[in-house]
Structure formats: C-alpha cells, structure tokens
Chain A
Amino acid sequence: MADTALTFDESAARNRRIIIRVGQIALAVGLIWIWKIGSQTAGELFFADPFKVWDRLIAITLSGELWMHTYETLRISFVGFVLGCFFGVLLPFVLRRMPRLTDAIEPYIMASVGVPKYALIPLFILWFGIQDAPKLWLIGLLVFYPVFIAIFAGIRGVDGRLINMARIAGASEARINREVIWYALLPFFFSGLKIALPRAVSAAIIGEFLVGNKGIGYYIEHSRQQMDVTGAFTGIVVAIALVLIVNSALTYIDKRLNAWRPTDRHMAV
C-alpha cells in the first residue's frame, strides 16, 4: 500500500511540474507577443521588433561581438565582485575580535549603507580616471554592503555552545573560524550573495554606459546614440540573460554547499 501511495505522490508531483513548465512557456510566448504588438504600435524607432532583436542576436553571436562584450562585462563584474566580497567577509571577522571598535563604528557603517552609490560615479571618474578603477569601486561597494551586513549579522548569531564544544575538543581560534563559524555563516553568506551578484552585473553595465568602449553597457548606450533601437534592445536582452544565468549558477552552488540544511529537503516536493 505504501508503494502505491508513493507512486501516486510522485506522479502527482511530476504532473504538477509539467503543468508549471507549460504555463511558463505559454507566458513567455504571451510576453513576446505583447512585445511585438507594442513595437507595432509605438513604431520601431522607439520599441524594437522582437524578431529583429533575435536576428541581431544571431548576427552579433556569429561576428564574435557578443562574446567580446559579454566577456568584458563578466570580467569587470567578477573582479569587482571578488573585491567587494573579500572585504565584506573579512571585515566582520576582524571586528569579531574587537567588540569595542565594533560598537564604535557600527552606526557609521550602517549610515553609509544609505549613501546612493550610483550617485558617486561622477566622483569615482574624477578620482580614479576612466579605466577599470571607477567601475570596480562602484561594483565593489555595491557588493560589499549586502555581504558585510549578512556576515556581520551571521557572526552574531553563531551558537556559542558549538564554539565552546569546539574549544574543548581542542580547536584553535583559526580552526573555529574555519570549521564552525564559516559553515554557520554560509547560509547568511549566500543570502548576501543573492543580492550582491545580480547587483554586480547591473553595476558593471551602468558603469559601462559612462566609461570605456567595451561591454554590454557600452553596446546598449552606443546603439542608442546611433539611433539603433534594435541594438539597444538586444543589449538589454543579453543583460537580462546574463543576470539570470549568474543567479541560477548561484542557486545551484547554494543547494550543493548547504545541502545539510533540513529546510531544503522538507520544502522540496
């Protein structure tokens, strides 16, 4: 009897997955159709035709232009992301050892969260020139804050009993950081990353609007300046695809690394 029940559950779950998938595809077709209507109503000068965007996508893929711009955007996002992550993770670990300093600077850090980073771009250009540096500052800062806040809150929430257990078992402070605190933080770290990673890509694209002659942001802005609306739309589609791919890669890694969490199993059906 148990077997039948199980098969029934499984086939019901499979049916549900198929229905959801069909719905998703229908929605995509519907959205493209609305896009098509929109472009016919507004005129192609304002709203590019989806099929022409598709043709352009093929064309720039074949010419290698797409890869060049995508590579540039990914490169700058990645470097900025790594920088922001590095300091976002390191600083809470350093502050953990200095509770008084933490209490002193915490209000300043929290206040600086509210500073609109994009508004600083002109200053970054003024200070750091027109190479990678201003873009890296922008991306780095946008990544730093969500990571820092997540890790900072996570460190405060680590179960002190686990740390005592590890100390008694003979673990050094470095070992405790690596084996206990880091793992306890991973879920927090990933919730920070889920905000930070798409931000890094968007920040790179916005940086490229203003600085440089490569990257998807540059391609969008350059096309607009040439009155090439199809090109601008194509760039936007590529940008969206990029963020989606980066996000799903992150979700995959999160599932692998945090498989021990009970919630993941219980929620999956």
Chain B
Amino acid sequence: MSALLEVRGLAKRFASRAGREPSPWIIQNLSFSVNEGEFLTIIGPSGGGKTTLLNMIAQIDCASDGEIRFQSQIAPVNDLKALKPGLDCKIGYVTQEDNLLPWRTCIDNVLFPLQVQGKLNDETKARAQNLIRAVGLAGWENHYPHELSGGMRKRTSLIRTLVYDPPVILMDEPFGALDAQTRLQLQDDLLRLWNLGRKTIVFVTHDIAEAIALGDRAIVLTRQPSQVAGEHRITIPRPRDIRGIMTHPEFVDLYQRIRAQVQ
C-alpha cells in the first residue's frame, strides 16, 4: 500500500484582520499519511482543529505552513485564490452539517454533483437509486430536506458524496448530532457501503468508540495546537458487527489506550 494522501509539518492559524492579531496556532507540526483504500479515523477534542484540517485537505481553506500532498499534487499554502476545492472531484467531503440544498428534493440533492459534473445519465441515475435504496430512503426521493428527519438528511448528504465515487472521502463527525440508535444504523450503513467499494476514507470524530468500530487505523490528536498524540492499528476483522463490537477484546484494549491519550 502506498500513501495516497500525505500531511507533513502542517500548521494553521487564521490570518489577521484589521486591528487584530492573527489567531493562535490551531494546528502545528502535524504529520500523518493515509494509504489507498484505508479507513483512517482521527480522534481529537472538540475545538481541536479537526474541521480546519479537513477543510485544508478538501482545499476550501489554506494551510499557513507545511505540506498536503495528494498523489503528486501539493496544495497551495497561504494562497486562497490558488485553491482547487475538491481537487477536480477527487476528494469528496461529507461535512458536519448536511448542507443540503433546501429547494431540491432528496433525489435532486443526490443527483446534484452528477448534474454539475455533466455525468448525469441512465447509469449514474440507476446508481443513485441503488444508493437511495441501500440507505433506506426509498419512498422519500421526492421530499424536500425540511420534510426529512435528521437521520434521513444525513443519509442524503452521505450518498450525495458516494454517488460520484471520489477516490478519497473526508467525513467530519457526520453522525455527531444524531441519536444513538440512528447513529448505529448509519455507521452500519457506512461500513456496508465501504465494504462494497473500499474507498479511502478520512473520518474525523470525537467519539473513541466510533473511531475504533469504523477504522483500520486511528490517529489521536492533542489539544490546540493539534499534533499527533498517538497512532493505533485496528485489526478487528471485517465485516464488523457494529452493535457487538464493544465486547471484542481488542476493542476494550484499544479503548483504554486511546482514552489515556485523549486529553
């Protein structure tokens, strides 16, 4: 396995505005890499710059220093205008808020990336329908986001990214705001979908159990400014049973070790 995505000595602070100092360093000297086909989870305290990290990888925000390399492309540093959001659709991003377009129905939200990429055809439409069925949204296609529950909106936003099949998908606490039951169901859905395609996923969360249950490898971040505090390989065999995994001996052991590292 080769490193598909590499982060080296990354640092970030927000630029100064008129009459104000620049913000303190949010991320400093952060390095890690992601292999192709790997499910990497990143655990960090809230307010620890996790979202900022993903924003920089997705190129909707700029690093202040360091290097983010995807394949052979290096993201621009300190140059907002040179950013290429999503790197020509190679990096998908499931944000913390679902960011659905409120004037589009569920299915039209899912088709949005295909439509703007000019890839809307019978084949991709069938793919969208399959995804809708796979996450249990059948029958809700023609409803507007405000008519859907939080879990259904989350599913819609998840498959909106899966539908155009980007090689890397970033996920920012996508299940953070959901109740425990819906959350388990969605984690289960995600693992099932991932097993079919084995995309490269970078999944950010503050929930240790979620990080272990989903990932191949977990990285623990420190408090601000964020650095890597620890790295853990997770060898619990797949396919995993998301509801029974808590009793797996490796899970219990990892949980203790990661718990000790999260400040």
Interface residues on B, range: 20 to 34
B207 within 8 Å of A (CB atoms): no
Across-interface contacts of B113 in A (CB, < 8 A): 169-170
Q: Interface majority SS on B: helix, strand, loop or mixed?
A: loop
Q: Write out, one digit per residue, whether chain B residues 55-82 have a CB within 8 A of any chain A CB (1) or not (0).
A: 0001010000000000000000000000
Across-interface contacts of A166 in B (CB, < 8 A): 112, 116
Across-interface contacts of B93 in A (CB, < 8 A): 165, 168
* Cα of A168 to Cα of B116 in the assembled complex, Å: 11
Count of A interface residues, CB-CB < 8 Å: 22
Across-interface contacts of A175 in B (CB, < 8 A): 116
A167 within 8 Å of B (CB atoms): yes
A55 within 8 Å of B (CB atoms): no
A108 within 8 Å of B (CB atoms): no
User: How distant is A98 from chain B, measured CB to nearest CB, in Å?
Assistant: 15
Are B88 and A170 within 8 A (Cβ)? yes
| B93 (CB) vs chain A CBs: closest residue | A168
Are A169 and B97 within 8 A (Cβ)? no
User: How distant is A231 from chain B, measured CB to nearest CB, in Å?
Assistant: 48
Are B103 and A169 within 8 A (Cβ)? no
Across-interface contacts of B89 in A (CB, < 8 A): 169-170
Q: How many A-B residue pairs have CB under 8 A?
A: 60
Are B117 and A165 within 8 A (Cβ)? no
Across-interface contacts of A172 in B (CB, < 8 A): 116
Across-interface contacts of A252 in B (CB, < 8 A): none
| A172 (CB) vs chain B CBs: closest residue | B116
User: How distant is A254 from chain B, measured CB to nearest CB, in Å?
Assistant: 13
- Indicate the member of B93, B160, B164 with the most A CB atoms within 10 Å: B93
Are A260 and B60 within 8 A (Cβ)? no
Q: Given A170-B164, A179-B112, A262-B146, A165 and B95 touching (CB < 8 A)?
A: yes
B178 within 8 Å of A (CB atoms): no
* Cα of A146 to Cα of B104 in the assembled complex, Å: 27
Across-interface contacts of B160 in A (CB, < 8 A): 169
User: Which residues 159-194 of A have a CB within 8 angstroms of B?
Assistant: 159, 161-162, 164-172, 175, 179-180, 183-184, 186
Q: Given A165-B99, A183-B103, A260-B103, A170 and B117 touching (CB < 8 A)?
A: yes
User: Which residues 189-228 of B have a CB within 8 angstroms of A?
Assistant: none
* Cα of A186 to Cα of B117 in the assembled complex, Å: 24
Are B116 and A162 within 8 A (Cβ)? no
B167 within 8 Å of A (CB atoms): no
B37 within 8 Å of A (CB atoms): no
Across-interface contacts of A161 in B (CB, < 8 A): 95, 97, 99
B91 within 8 Å of A (CB atoms): yes
User: How distant is B151 from chain A, measured CB to nearest CB, in Å?
Assistant: 18
Are A168 and B103 within 8 A (Cβ)? no
The residue from A167, A186, A262 contacting B85, defined by CB atoms under 8 A apart = A167
The residue from B102, B112, B144, B146 contacting A169, defined by CB atoms under 8 A apart = B112
Are B60 and A167 within 8 A (Cβ)? yes
Are B85 and A180 within 8 A (Cβ)? no
* Cα of A159 to Cα of B100 in the assembled complex, Å: 11
Are A168 and B146 within 8 A (Cβ)? no
Across-interface contacts of B146 in A (CB, < 8 A): 260, 262
Across-interface contacts of B86 in A (CB, < 8 A): 167-170
Q: Given A183-B101, A260-B103, A262-B146, A170 and B58 touching (CB < 8 A)?
A: no
* Cα of A261 to Cα of B146 in the assembled complex, Å: 8
User: How distant is B137 from chain A, measured CB to nearest CB, in Å?
Assistant: 18
User: How distant is A163 from chain B, measured CB to nearest CB, in Å?
Assistant: 9
Are B101 and A162 within 8 A (Cβ)? yes
Are B103 and A171 within 8 A (Cβ)? no
User: How distant is A260 from chain B, measured CB to nearest CB, in Å?
Assistant: 4
User: Which residues 149-175 of B have a CB within 8 angstroms of A?
Assistant: 160, 164
10 A-B pairs with C-beta separation under 8 A: A164-B60, A165-B95, A168-B58, A168-B86, A169-B89, A169-B112, A169-B164, A170-B117, A172-B116, A179-B116
* Closest CB pairs A-B (n = 10): A168-B86, A167-B85, A169-B113, A171-B116, A262-B146, A260-B103, A170-B89, A170-B117, A165-B99, A183-B103
